Chains A and B, each alone.
Chain A
Amino acid sequence: MLAVESVSKRFGGLMAVDNASLVLEPGGIIGLIGPNGAGKTTLFSMISGFVAPSDGRILFEGTDITGEEPHRRAERGIGRTFQIVQPFAGLTVCENIAVGAYLRHAKRADAIGKARDVARRVGLAAELDRPAGGLTVAGRKRLELARALATEPKLLLLDEVLAGLNPSEIRDIIPVIRGIRDEGVTILMIEHVMQAVMNLCERVYVLAQGRMIAEGKPAAVCADPRVIEAYLGHGAAARLAAEGAAHG
């Protein structure tokens, strides 16, 4: 469905993403993890078209979309949320979601109807007529999700939708994400909340200092010495293993 082929992004002297590749088959939830500053959000921005890669190419359903504008990619079925939530603050929740729904429903009544459906699914039905600027953090995260969903994407890119939520709010939203997957939407999520990654993702990619350093099942990846070192520093894996042996 999505193929990122040796993509790089250079910001001046900084290699934000360095020769990273990634392949998604339709269906399922795939995680993208990595320490802060690894280039995860930059990679997302390249997939959704907000940042042009310095090198490499991106294919969606077999078509090269490397040079396409973000709105064209949304039409093709790539939806995204923003790590820093970007609500249309002056509009109501319903109007916010309707902007997404208008992508595939030209008539106002249809778009509003679609927006109400989506709001119900993500648990925003009670807030429909409130201004988006007045939502709580959890509400805004749900709104990001709802707007992206209203565009009826085939591939949904979720950038830290769980960050900043408390454990009970996370517990509430996990079934929503699983429900989206069950309807056939492929999900690629950046996430720091490891409990959720373990819980939701079938596969994870690990990005560190712009490079893809590991890929596989969450449990296996977390035990990978390269991943541990990326998070905890050089030599950490050996130290942990030694401590483990000593305690064992």
Chain B
Amino acid sequence: MTARDLIPIVVLAVLAALLPLVVTSSPVMNFLVFTLIVALGAQGWNILGGFGGQFSFGHAAFFGTGAYVTAILQLRYGVNAWAGLLVAMAAGAAVAWTIGFLSFRSGLRGSYFALVTLAFAEVFRILANAASFTGGAAGLLIKLDVHPANLQFADRAVFYWLVLAFVTGVLLLTRWIQRSRFGAQLVAVRENEDAAKALGVDSLKVKLRAIALSGAVTALSGCLYAQYFLYIDAHIAYGSWISVELLLAPIIGGVGTVFGPVVGALTLHGLGELAKQFAGRIPGIDLIVFGSVLVLAVAFARGGILGLLERLRDRGRGMMTRGAKEVSHAGR
């Protein structure tokens, strides 16, 4: 990676880190923390779905695993929350690898892979809802004990900085993937699996690595969700709402790009919140906004917001060079 690859990430992270010094209202901080948690999970989805082209409809399986592992370790075994965070990530990676192994080895692609992941997430949801170990339908309440050692902070800004640090870390990880052999092979598998194999790419291994990384990152976002809201149940952790959130953000923002998931999550939730402000009496108005933005993105911005910006920039450049030519012609 070169300095040019890193500078945009660092600049954005620093700017975002300064935000709590300006904004102190707690609804806004709540909004930012929640959106960043979604963005983090979406970054996980983007590694597998964006770079690897394997569209999962069941990332809730990893998000929920992260959330439940964190909560259960603390409640039932008294494990420290930070250690729980690491175990949650490992568990997310393991669950993801297993689902990947079962489906990729049987050659599932495209919509079949999407359906299988959806089914796994639903099975997890039903099991978590039924078992007493996971608190059943009542869910799990993490004990309020505000202390940095417990991954609970009195000041929302501190939690915001923590999530921001993780998001930045994954931005760097994604940039690394984009510039590495692993990334090139992953994208090759997305574009044409047979051609990739003929060039010596072990497509099964590459996909398994991608899904394990993806599962770990998404589990991390689930863990942070649990620590921030201190309550989870089967519908929150394993519900299809989170699977949809995690795939919508990259698709809206720019699938297979470094910043896409973050841009998409901020846009979606920003618009959703605005809609709630102006039309709060209509229940579900934010969902209507989600749907409309998705339709617009699919119809008019295939590469998401970032793809659209790039096309506009290219067109702008084209016009400028054409303009310059006309000027020089006129000069003669």
A residues near B (Cβ < 8 Å) are 48-50, 69-71, 74-75, 79-80, 82, 86-91, 95, 98-100, 102-103, 106-108, 111, 147-148, 150-151
Q: Is the CB of A108 within 8 A of B180?
A: yes
Please name all residues of chain B whose beta carbon is closer than 8 Å to the beta carbon of A75 when the two chains form the complex. 200
Q: Is the CB of A151 within 8 A of B184?
A: no
Q: Is the CB of B198 within 8 A of A74?
A: yes
Given the complex of chains A and B, what is the CA–CA distance between A95 and B187 in angstroms?
A: 10
Q: Is the CB of B200 within 8 A of A151?
A: yes
Please name all residues of chain B whose beta carbon is closer than 8 Å to the beta carbon of A50 when the two chains form the complex. 194, 197-198
Known interface pairs A91-B187, A151-B199; A102-B194 also in contact (CB < 8 Å): no
Please name all residues of chain A whose beta carbon is closer than 8 Å to the beta carbon of B188 when the two chains form the complex. 88, 91, 99
Q: Is the CB of A88 within 8 A of B191?
A: yes
B residues near A (Cβ < 8 Å) are 179-181, 184-185, 187-188, 191-192, 194-203
Q: Is the CB of B187 within 8 A of A70?
A: no
Given the complex of chains A and B, what is the CA–CA distance between A71 and B184 in angstroms?
A: 15
Q: Is the CB of A98 within 8 A of B184?
A: yes
Instruction: Specify which of B179, B194, B199 is in contact with A99 (CB 8 Å cutoff).
Output: B199
The distance from the CB of A68 to the nearest CB of chain B, in whole angstroms, is 12
Q: Is the CB of B200 within 8 A of A88?
A: no
Q: Is the CB of B197 within 8 A of A70?
A: yes
Closest to A147 in B: B199
Please name all residues of chain A whose beta carbon is closer than 8 Å to the beta carbon of B197 when the two chains form the complex. 49-50, 69-71, 74
Please name all residues of chain B whose beta carbon is closer than 8 Å to the beta carbon of A103 when the two chains form the complex. 199-201
Instruction: Specify which of B179, B180, B185, B195 is in contact with A82 (CB 8 Å cutoff).
Output: B195
Q: Is the CB of B181 within 8 A of A90?
A: no
Please name all residues of chain B whose beta carbon is closer than 8 Å to the beta carbon of A86 when the two chains form the complex. 192, 194-195
Instruction: Specify which of A88, A107, A111, A151 is in contact with B187 (CB 8 Å cutoff).
Output: A88
Q: Is the CB of A71 within 8 A of B202?
A: yes
Closest to A102 in B: B181
Please name all residues of chain A whose beta carbon is closer than 8 Å to the beta carbon of B187 when the two chains form the complex. 88, 90-91, 95
Instruction: Specify which of A79, A90, A148 is in contact with B191 (CB 8 Å cutoff).
Output: A90
With A74-B199, A106-B181, A108-B180 already in contact, 6 other A-B pairs whose C-beta atoms are closer than 8 Å? A49-B197, A71-B200, A88-B187, A91-B188, A103-B199, A111-B181
